[in-house]
A and B are shown apart, each in its own frame.
Chain A
């Protein structure tokens, strides 16, 4: 299947290589962005039918960079299976669909991951009544696990490394895992930490469940584009970086207007007061200013969609800035 996909990707690439995606998007008048069919905190329709979430903000940021208007984006829903062919065939300009960056997807499928907008990883959730504070204390536990996924392999590795045993209760979907855990048929549920948080938030009494501190796998989730169109890749990459740099520099959607008269050189460069970085990307010079003004910096997007004040209550953790104990790091804006 993967081989087949990569062949299609190459064929599709051969057809679409003649024109740059950026020009296509500009001519079309709006961005086509592939998102999930609904994942709490990342992309889901709100009550008024607008897509909201961390990934949806990523799409809007790119739309703002190109058009200066956060509404110039059309969200195309994709599933785990349809996302790659949809991108390869050119039906979407980019994917922001909590997709893990792996070598085979980056190289073999012919895509280009332009950055990471959420560092996820496999975690464990247990009832707080179990009195467990670390995953290494889970010897002999019954674990609800989705079959045929990398989480299954990670789990086996983790327990073997720590010399403890477990009993697997195979499940198919996240909903099934939730029901089994809540009904007490398994002691532990393991999946990506963000998924655990939304499962916990869906419980009638979230305080009865704890997510253990151990994260046993790397799941860097980020936006991706088709291989080979570097100009477009740069636009998406720097739309994400602009949000991260804005947080580093303390620029928010509220103080961005005041910051245009700042005396910090990098702030002036980012906001387009100095230099011609927008021109380099073939965008307007205030593209980053508009992103911060209309979407906010990374922190604002994070706090609004998945942060501790939302029902998901995901702490910044790895997703904090490198200066604050996380690994979020954007190349300098110069």
Chain B
């Protein structure tokens, strides 16, 4: 046997599970201590949380087998010693959490709108979707369809926005705010960097004013002051007023995020585009913005997640979004005191949406390789 051809395996302690454990969890004694401490905490916490949320929890029936219709029938209220979460409140109120006070006979319209929203998002999320072009056409007309579906008109009975609530309001506010703020934000960012003093000053003024004011103040302005200035007869819908405030707020932030991306583009890119004889719009649309938006993906998603969570502030102007429905439920004498269950559920829903957004942005970053240096030297 030739000794030189013999391949020696790496030491056991540096490969496989053991190696990974050693390097990541037990590298030195401080690491080992911290690892043991965390494991102990998880050991204490996880069984308890699993027991509370799942194993001892009531979903529809309590431990006596009765269907739960108020908080007194929850196992944990019948017998404080055993019994975990009382999810029956979510079960009973699920309709309100998802649709608000939307009339039951018309609710199929909301369901269709939810399905269509998913379909409209598909081509935006997956570039390799078959027939993506046709899906994209659908995405463009989706807002119009959704408007008539949800609000009424074109043969659908009208459902006033007063009856909207829960996840429906949260999604309408979040999606419209994010979708509208993006183009407005781009225009504002370009405007602020414009060489024309009037445009640049107006954009700067707008951005600084909106950014300098808390969202609550804008919501109040939209909700309370606007109708006082409008002449009687012009009745602007409450939800629309809030939507306007949310969109203005979000577009100011979006503009600054995109401006950050624009500033990272080396002047050579502008000069190269101009030397090819491109106009201002062609240069921005074809050369500058694709690069600028690509490197701004993390902060764009960041502000979008922020907006999605900020929509809960609309409770202050009396619109019941997902969180508002939760608080309304807590005020029902039948369900007093179930705040843990309700806030847990609401945060779970928000987590699913925001975590989804954040995962998607990671996927985009990987796909577009935003990390690479784009010749900015």
Contact = CB atoms under 8 A, between A and B. Distances in A.
Interface of A: 8, 11-12, 15-16, 36-41, 43-47, 49, 52, 74-79, 81-82, 85-86, 88-91, 175, 198, 201-205, 305, 310-312
Contacts of B315: 37, 79
A8 B227 CA distance: 10
A85 B332 contact: no
Nearest to A42: B331
A242 B144 CA distance: 48
B328 A86 contact: no
A311 B336 contact: yes
B331 A39 contact: yes
A85 B318 CA distance: 12
A45 B327 CA distance: 10
Which of B315, B316, B317 lies at the interface centre, i.e. has the most chain A CB atoms within 10 A of its CB? B317
A111 to B, nearest CB: 15
Nearest to A49: B101
Nearest to B315: A37
A11 B336 contact: no
B329 interface: yes
Given A45-B328, A204-B337, 4 more contacts: A44-B332, A46-B332, A47-B92, A47-B334
Given A82-B317, A90-B232, A45 B162 contact: no
A149 B340 CA distance: 27
Q: How large is the interface on B (under 10, 10 to 19, 20 to 34, 35 or more residues)?
A: 35 or more
B332 A49 contact: no
B80 interface: yes
Contact of B228 (A8, A37, A44): A8
B325 to A, nearest CB: 8
Contacts of A43: 331
Nearest to B226: A89
B136 to A, nearest CB: 37
Nearest to A14: B232
B224 interface: yes
A76 B162 contact: yes
B331 A77 contact: no
Contacts of B320: 37, 77
A14 to B, nearest CB: 10
B231 interface: yes
B185 interface: no
A90 B224 CA distance: 11
B164 to A, nearest CB: 12
A77 B228 contact: no
A204 B338 CA distance: 10
B375 to A, nearest CB: 52
Contact of B318 (A15, A44, A47, A79): A79
B84 to A, nearest CB: 13
Which of A38, A41, A205, A310 lies at the interface centre, i.e. has the most chain B CB atoms within 10 A of its CB? A38
A47 B223 contact: no
B8 to A, nearest CB: 63
25 contacts: A15-B232, A37-B315, A37-B318, A37-B320, A37-B331, A38-B324, A39-B331, A45-B96, A45-B325, A49-B96, A49-B101, A74-B160, A76-B162, A76-B318, A77-B319, A79-B317, A82-B224, A82-B317, A85-B223, A86-B224, A88-B228, A90-B227, A198-B336, A311-B333, A311-B336
A308 to B, nearest CB: 13
Interface string B75-94: 01100100000000000110
B328 A81 contact: no
Contact of A15 (B231, B316, B317, B331): B231
